[in-house]
Structure 1
Amino acid sequence: MTKEEFKTFWTLTYPDTIPISYLFKNDYSQKWFRIHSLPESKRYPESENEWGILLERQNQIITDLFGENEKILLVTGEYNWGERTTFITDEEEVFKPYKFLRLDNIDMFEYNSDDYDKGEIYRPAFAEIIWNLNHYNKLLREIAINNVSAFFVSIVKNIIVVPYDGGIDFIFKDSETRDFYKEKYKDWLSEREDGL
């Protein structure tokens, strides 16, 4: 996939947002739900047993959604306040196995002048990968302790999967698909009324 193809796909499929993961749950709230990675909504694992639970849950649901040997996109990025010249995919060891294409900078002030100042930009990048069970555990662990941020996208199934430190957010192609998986994984949902 070229940079131009990604831009076309994103604009047509997710016209109400930009490729920054914290925006998705608000921009597509009718297609969103969240699971927690540990029982009782515990945020961070403190033992190898808890790491096992976290990775088992995350691999199970992601594989259920994407399937094995499915081509998907790994998307990440970084904020840049004008001083940094290196890119996160060059700095972080966990990203080095992947061949990232850098997308056009997003002017955050232009996107949201209430929360950002002039000159603040976001620099996204994506890599084409093949999803396989337990193949991305190192990356999932780094995300789970908030060392890096990244999300996965299935172009074929129109699903966004956003692991974070505490769980995973999902954006589905429609609310019916969301409701199916929300019911299937109801034991992993938050007890909070807002689903967070």
Structure 2
Amino acid sequence: MQQVPEGGQPALPELWQQRWPDCLPVGYKLRDPYRDVWVRFHSLPESKRYAVDESEYAVVLERYNTVLDELFAGTEVYVVTPFGATEPEVPLLEPDAGYWQSLLVEDDPEPEFRTYCHLFAAQLPWQHGCIDKLLRDTAHDKVAGVLVTDSLMQRIYHPYDGGADVFLTTPEERDRMRDRHTDWLSSHPSGL
């Protein structure tokens, strides 16, 4: 992946810093500093956490893709996937894996106890269902920390096992999206 895509767009770290300066690109940490543009949707009725059969996986994928379509239909997206490691060196993955940056997750005085998260960002045109395998693995808790964002990083979709956190451009946009999917919201007062 190119660091500066055609058209002079800033590199990913600069884009992130411009739009989300109060947080590292870690999905579960975004909620606190950006609560005013955050909404959480649950993947299954009655806030059930895990699908147990194909009919429930169909519901999970439909909910994930419905919101992703609303956010990104007809646009290019970055799909950011993390790779946890105990070494600061970036692992050799597929050549087009698109290394973005590394984060020190656990800083310990002893180097062998430090942990890192290497982030990879692949750019692709959004199409309904194009990341279903990744979404299914996320719903089944095989993968964590995925972020999907538009090419300007204005909106973020962070799926997790049980639902998705969505970060929008304004509180008004958040409210409109929330109101379209009220049946998918938590009954908990905090929205969790």
TM-score of the pair, normalised by structure 1:
0.83
- Cα distance in 2 for partners of 1:164, 1:71 equals 22
Checking the alignment, whether the CA contact within 8 Å between 1:172 and 1:178 is kept in structure 2 is yes
Checking the alignment, whether the CA contact within 8 Å between 1:99 and 1:128 is kept in structure 2 is no
Change (3 A) 1:26 1:162: same
- Cα distance in 2 for partners of 1:195, 1:144 equals 19
Change (3 A) 1:177 1:157: farther
SS of residue in 1 equivalent to 2:49:
coil
Give the superposition deviation at 1:84: 8.2
Q: Mapping of 1:19-58 within 5 angstroms? A: 19-58=25-64
SS of residue in 2 equivalent to 1:177:
helix
- Cα distance in 1 for partners of 2:34, 2:18 equals 14
Q: How many residues align?
A: 181
Q: Mapping of 1:97-112 within 5 angstroms? A: 99-108=96-105
- Cα distance in 2 for partners of 1:175, 1:52 equals 30
Residue 179 of structure 2 is aligned to residue 160 of structure 1:
no
Q: Decide which of 2, 9, 12 is 2:18's aligned counterpart.
A: 12
Write the letter of the residue equivalent to 1:44. Answer: Y
TM-score of the pair, normalised by structure 2:
0.85
SS of residue in 1 equivalent to 2:138:
helix
**What does residue 147 of structure 1 align with?**
142
- Cα distance in 1 for partners of 2:175, 2:154 equals 15
**Which blocks of at least 5 consecutive residues in structure 1 are unaligned?**
91-95, 110-115
Write the letter of the residue equivalent to 2:130. Answer: H
**What does residue 165 of structure 2 align with?**
169
Q: Deviations over 1:18-47 (max 9, x none)?
A: 111111112211111100010000000111
- Cα distance in 2 for partners of 1:33, 1:21 equals 13
Checking the alignment, whether the CA contact within 8 Å between 2:90 and 2:118 is kept in structure 1 is no
Checking the alignment, whether the CA contact within 8 Å between 2:42 and 2:184 is kept in structure 1 is yes
- Cα distance in 2 for partners of 1:193, 1:156 equals 32
Higher helix share: 1
Superposed CA RMSD in Å reads: 2.2
- Cα distance in 1 for partners of 2:14, 2:138 equals 27
Checking the alignment, whether the CA contact within 8 Å between 1:62 and 1:161 is kept in structure 2 is yes
**What does residue 112 of structure 1 align with?**
none
Of all paired residues, the percent bearing the same amino acid is 29
SS of residue in 2 equivalent to 1:26:
coil
Checking the alignment, whether the CA contact within 8 Å between 1:189 and 1:195 is kept in structure 2 is yes
**Which moved further from structure 2: 100-109 or 129-138?**
100-109
- Cα distance in 2 for partners of 1:56, 1:27 equals 29
- Cα distance in 2 for partners of 1:40, 1:184 equals 17
